[in-house]
């Protein structure tokens, strides 16, 4: 395959000749290194010593490494990977992230990010792989994905000659973090990209019949149906050589561990200072799960037919069963939403399964999934797995319901799918119970069901956001009427209320008609208090609904997107059996709840992806390659096992997304345990087996 020639190592940028010397930290002035948050940085010879105190005014404190040799930018054009040596100067696991930034970087665009966890005292190399833009003409456009292949313009592809900042940052989790930085360098000399990117005529079709990127090679890429069959046979032999972890019972609980009271359902218990789930047989259980055990992976074809090679036409015999309509997520900025088109979407993964397993592929694939889970040490079908797999009764599982069809706060800007529910409306609680009965009746008394999430990744906002949304709602909003009743109880007269708020309502009912957000210290205090009440009623009502549905079922919380405010976490801790976090980080060992709330925690999503293979976006957290992904997975789960609150980790997710992007939201992430051709990533499988083999031993270490 023809390639563009490798860029010269020495390049002229803004009139200044730069080379590897641009990263010599011995020549840097520590006083000129800017910081984010409350951070100190000092020089120690050729090293930087970074100290980040526990209490921070921002979520992502760290340092900014910018050129100090008179150039405006660093030049990364000679390499493909930025490498930085780090040493953990603390006595526990920490994580450091790195973001390579062009001007205008915002965490989503014009930047590429990576990171890693380091054990106590460990020295290791953080590596960030990056793609470059500017090698293809503007006529070569790849739309419908979160990022484009290397050489093309894409959200994350960099102008490698204009790197304005290398940011190193952390999430402190309430503890001080200290680390050493040294030996910044470039690795993997740039070898060019395919000549196909030179024109639209040679670039398209860019996706082969298996759903893979055509113009790049990587280990494990499928080139023929024979490759699929060979991979099937090789995996059969591998699974036979790697039986399930020893000492587990049929639920995946610790058969060789202590015996607690068996209730016939999953429950929680604290044992020797650490929280556990307890399985129906009374054995300690740590939920080692993967999200979305499923059998398809679709991508929109409409308006992009020229992207794909050998795609069977809609309605043809060859395409039967592989096309469907897939909508886009309301409120999100994605290709098909902008086009106002609900596309025909093709299921590349399903088509590959048929090629691999034959006409009975659905049953063969289902059997293979259970074999994989057992061999890999996965004991939980995590969120969004197929209902029929749950009903097989072979593995513990979690369920999720939503109050989306119930009453919502009209003034909430959470998007059409995520407006916050009106917890003052009687229909709120009823909507949850109705959805549970409609969708999950089989799980109500099923011993394999661990518990139920209610909702996913609400937009909680700041401490007054929900209360402000109530004020912005119409007069008939139940929550707004509830707010008025609350205010009447607090203020004995309209005059007293107006004086406190510095407002001029001519009646209490005028508040219902107004949508203006008050601006005074007293009003803000009341908004915070009512916001707290909304949150409290939310968790309280969701819990009641779950317990009405099934009194013994665990209420697993609302799947926080990251870490919300302390007030919201505290409310969840008062009502949830288990508080759940979708927490895309490199470590959670230090994660704690506010005021040292002592309740179980579940990591309901995390992942690590890479652009080393065919897909151009790594997902939320990136790794330099598949070996690093495996290391990052094992480090994350190990840190979670050492955290006394955490009772499970659920990886998102089983299968890579389509390289062309899913029409729902354009995501085209490479982060799965399986690629689009159903090939397990050996490094991820090895990492899962490694940690599963000593799961309960790690959890039982240093017990009180």
pLDDT digits (tens, 9 = 90+) for 108-155: 999 999 999 999 999 999 999 999 999 999 999 999 999 999 999 999
How, if at all, do strands 646-651 and 601-605 pair? parallel
- Residue 15 has a pLDDT of 29
State which CATH number among 3.10.129.10, 3.40.50.300, 2.60.120.430, 1.10.1040.10 fits the domain covering 11-203. 2.60.120.430
Residue pair 113/201 in contact by the 8 Å Cβ criterion = no
What stretch(es) of the chain map to CATH 2.60.120.430?
A: 11-203
Environment class of 5 (CB within 10 Å of its CB; exposed 0-12, middle 13-18, buried 19+)? exposed
Q: How many residues does the chain have?
A: 704
Could you tell me how far CA 50 lies from the centroid of its own chain? 27
Residue 495, pLDDT above cutoff 80: yes
- Sign of the Cα torsion 428, 466, 454, 457 reads positive
Residue with tokens 């005074």: 520
User: Which pLDDT value is given to residue 5?
Assistant: 38
Q: Which residues of 438-462 are buried (b: 16+ CB within 10 A; e: fewer)?
A: eebeebeebbbbbbbbbbbebbbbe
Average pLDDT in the 375-392 region? 98
Read off the pLDDT of each residue in 428-456 and give the average, rounded to a whole number. 97
Quick check: 8 pLDDT over 50? no
pLDDT bin (cut points 50, 70, 90) of residue 9 is very low
Residue with tokens 């706060």: 409
Q: Which residues contact 690 (CB under 8 A, 6 or more apart)?
A: 634
Q: Mean pLDDT across the chain, nearest whole number?
A: 94
Which is nearest to 396 in space by CA: 409, 412, 383? 383
pLDDT grade for 703, boundaries at 50, 70 and 90: low
Measured distance CA(279)–CA(456) in Å, rounded: 25
Q: What share of the chain is helix, strand, coil (3-state, %, to 5)?
A: 30, 20, 50
Judge whether residue 7 has pLDDT over 70: no
Q: What Rg value do the Cα atoms of the chain yield, rounded?
A: 27
- Residue 382: predicted pLDDT: 98
Q: How confident is the model at residue 688 (pLDDT cuts 50, 70, 90)?
A: very high
CB atoms within 10 A of CB 58: 11
Tokens of 319: 């395409």
Only one residue has tokens 């003052």, namely 424
C-alpha angle with apex 443: 552 to 250, nearest 5 degrees?
A: 85
679 CB-near residues (< 8 Å, 6+ apart): 220, 222, 231
**H or E segment to which residue 361 belongs:** helix 361-376
Distance CA 454, CA 570 (A): 17
Give strand ranges (E) for 531-651: 554-555, 560-561, 579-582, 601-605, 646-651
Q: What is the Cα–Cα distance from 278 to 648, expressed in whole angstroms?
A: 12
Q: How far apart are CA 647 and CA 637, in angstroms?
A: 11
Q: Which helix (H) or strand (E) holds 276?
A: strand 274-278
- Phi/psi region, residue 310 (left: phi>0; alpha: psi -120 to 50; beta: rest), is left
| Structure confidence at residue 333 (pLDDT) | 84
- C-beta separation of 218 from 320 below 8 A: no
CATH number of this structure's domain 225-383+559-699 = 3.20.20.80
Distance CA 371, CA 255 (A): 20
SS3 (DSSP) at 431: helix
The dihedral through the CA atoms of 412, 415, 417, 418 has a sign that is negative
Residue 3 has pLDDT above 80, yes or no: no
pLDDT above 60 for 176: yes
Q: How far is CA 664 from the centre of its chain?
A: 16
272, two tokens: 């020797």
Please tell me what DSSP assigns to residue 551: T
Residue 527 has pLDDT above 70, yes or no: yes
Residue 517 DSSP class: P
- CB-based contact 167:106 (threshold 8 Å): no
Where is pLDDT greater, at 168 or 15? 168
Spatial contact of 673 and 633, defined as CB atoms under 8 Å apart: no
Alpha helix locations (H) across 51-174? Answer: none
* pLDDT score recorded for residue 388: 97
Per-residue model confidence (pLDDT) at position 404: 79
Residue 704: band (very low, low, confident or very high) from pLDDT cuts 50, 70, 90: low
User: What residues have CB less than 8 Å from 631, skipping those under 6 apart?
Assistant: 116, 623, 687
Closest by Cα among 702, 695, 644, 648 to 270: 644
| pLDDT reading at 17 higher than 50 | no
Q: Which of 95, 67, 40 is nearest to 636 (CA)?
A: 95
Q: Is the pLDDT of residue 417 over 70?
A: no
| pLDDT band for position 16 (cuts 50, 70, 90) | very low
**Cα 153 to Cα 91: distance, rounded to the nearest angstrom:** 43
pLDDT tens for each residue of 59-94: 999 999 999 988 999 999 999 999 999 999 999 999
Asked if the model's pLDDT at residue 12 lies above 50, the reply is no
Q: What is the predicted pLDDT for the residue at 2?
A: 39
Q: Is the pLDDT of residue 51 over 80?
A: yes
239: how many CB neighbours lie within 10 A of its CB? 17
**pLDDT tens track for 552-563:** 999 999 999 999
Q: Which residue, 148, 150, 146, is CA-closest to 131?
A: 150
φ and ψ at residue 111, rounded to 5 degrees: -160, 160
Place of tokens 């197929």: 386
Look at residues 541, 701, 578 and name the one whose alpha carbon lies nearest to residue 266. Answer: 578
Q: Give the separation between CA 38 and CA 27, rounded to whole angstroms.
A: 24
Are 453 and 558 in contact, with CB atoms under 8 Å apart?
yes
Q: Omega of the bond prior to 205 within 30 degrees of 0, cis?
A: yes
Q: Is the preceding omega at residue 653 within 30 degrees of 0, hence cis? A: yes
Delimiting residues of CATH 3.20.20.80 domain(s) in the chain: 225-383+559-699
Q: Using 50, 70 and 90 to split pLDDT, how confident is the model at 403?
A: confident
Q: Rounded to the nearest 10 degrees, how much is the dihedral formed by the CA atoms of 301, 303, 308, 314? A: 50
Binned at pLDDT 50, 70 and 90, residue 30 comes out as very high
Q: Which residues contact 200 (CB under 8 A, 6 or more apart)?
A: 139, 140, 141
């Amino acid at each position: 395959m023809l390639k563009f020639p490798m860029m010269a190592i020495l390049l002229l940028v803004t009139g200044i000749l730069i080379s590897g010397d641009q990263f010599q930290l011995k020549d840097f002035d520590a006083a000129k290194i800017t910081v984010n948050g409350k951070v100190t940085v000092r020089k120690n010879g050729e090293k930087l010593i970074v100290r980040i105190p526990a209490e921070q005014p921002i979520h992502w404190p760290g340092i900014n490494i910018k050129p100090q040799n008179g150039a405006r930018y660093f030049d990364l054009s000679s390499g493909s990977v930025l490498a930085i040596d780090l040493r953990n100067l603390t006595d526990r696991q920490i994580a450091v992230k790195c973001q390579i930034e062009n001007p205008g970087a915002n965490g989503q665009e014009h930047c590429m990010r990576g990171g890693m966890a380091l054990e106590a005292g460990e020295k290791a190399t953080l590596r960030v792989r990056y793609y470059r833009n500017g090698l293809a003409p503007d006529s070569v456009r790849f739309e419908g994905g979160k990022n484009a292949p290397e050489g093309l313009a894409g959200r994350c592809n960099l102008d490698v000659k204009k790197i304005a900042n290398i940011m190193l940052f952390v999430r402190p989790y309430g503890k001080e973090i200290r680390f050493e930085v040294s030996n910044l360098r470039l690795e993997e000399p740039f070898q060019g990209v395919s000549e196909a990117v030179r024109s639209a005529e040679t670039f398209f079709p860019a996706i082969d019949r298996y759903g893979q990127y055509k113009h790049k090679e990587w280990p494990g890429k499928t080139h023929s149906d024979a490759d699929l069959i060979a991979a099937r046979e090789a995996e059969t032999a591998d699974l036979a050589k790697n039986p399930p972890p020893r000492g587990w019972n049929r639920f995946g609980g610790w058969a060789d561990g202590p015996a607690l009271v068996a209730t016939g359902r999953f429950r929680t218990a604290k044992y020797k200072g650490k929280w556990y789930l307890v399985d129906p047989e009374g054995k300690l259980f740590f939920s080692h799960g993967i999200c979305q055990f499923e059998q398809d992976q679709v991508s929109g074809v409409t308006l992009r037919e020229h992207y794909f090679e050998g795609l069977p036409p809609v309605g043809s015999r060859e395409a039967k069963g592989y096309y469907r309509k897939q909508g886009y997520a309301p409120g999100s900025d994605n290709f098909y939403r902008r086009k106002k088109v609900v596309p025909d979407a093709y299921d590349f993964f399903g088509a590959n399964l048929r090629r691999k397993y034959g006409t009975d592929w659905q049953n063969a694939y289902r059997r293979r999934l259970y074999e994989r889970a057992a061999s890999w040490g996965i004991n939980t079908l995590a969120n969004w797995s197929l209902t029929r797999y749950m009903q097989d009764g072979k593995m513990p599982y979690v369920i999720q319901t939503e109050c989306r069809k119930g009453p919502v706060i009209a003034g909430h800007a959470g998007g059409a799918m995520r407006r916050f529910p009106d917890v003052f409306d009687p229909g709120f609680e009823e909507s949850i119970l109705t959805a549970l009965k409609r969708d999950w009746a089989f799980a109500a008394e099923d011993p394999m069901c661990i518990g139920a999430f209610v909702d996913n990744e609400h937009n909680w906002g700041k401490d007054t956001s929900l209360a402000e949304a109530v004020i912005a709602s119409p007069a008939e909003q139940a929550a707004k009427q509830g707010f008025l009743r609350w205010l009447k109880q607090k203020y004995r007269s309209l005059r007293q209320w107006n004086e406190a708020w510095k407002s001029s309502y001519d009646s209490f009912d005028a508040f219902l008609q107004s949508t203006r957000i008050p601006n005074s210290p007293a009003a803000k205090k009341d908004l915070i208090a009512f916001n707290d009440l909304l949150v409290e009623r939310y968790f309280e009502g969701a819990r009641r609904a779950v317990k009405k549905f099934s009194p013994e079922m665990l209420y697993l919380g609302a799947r926080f997107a990251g870490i919300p405010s302390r007030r919201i976490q505290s409310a969840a801790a008062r009502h949830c059996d288990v508080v759940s976090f979708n927490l895309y980080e490199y470590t959670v060992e230090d994660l704690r709840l506010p005021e040292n709330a002592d309740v179980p925690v579940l990591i309901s999503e995390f992942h690590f992806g890479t652009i080393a293979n065919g897909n151009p976006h790594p997902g939320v957290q990136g790794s330099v390659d598949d070996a690093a992904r495996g290391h990052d997975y094992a480090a994350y789960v190990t840190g979670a096992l050492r955290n006394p609150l955490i009772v499970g980790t659920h990886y998102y997710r089983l299968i890579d997304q389509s390289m062309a992007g899913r029409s729902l939201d354009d995501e085209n992430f490479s982060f799965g345990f399986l690629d689009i051709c159903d090939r397990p990533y050996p490094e991820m499988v090895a990492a899962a087996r490694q940690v599963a083999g000593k799961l309960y031993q790690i959890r039982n270490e240093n017990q009180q």
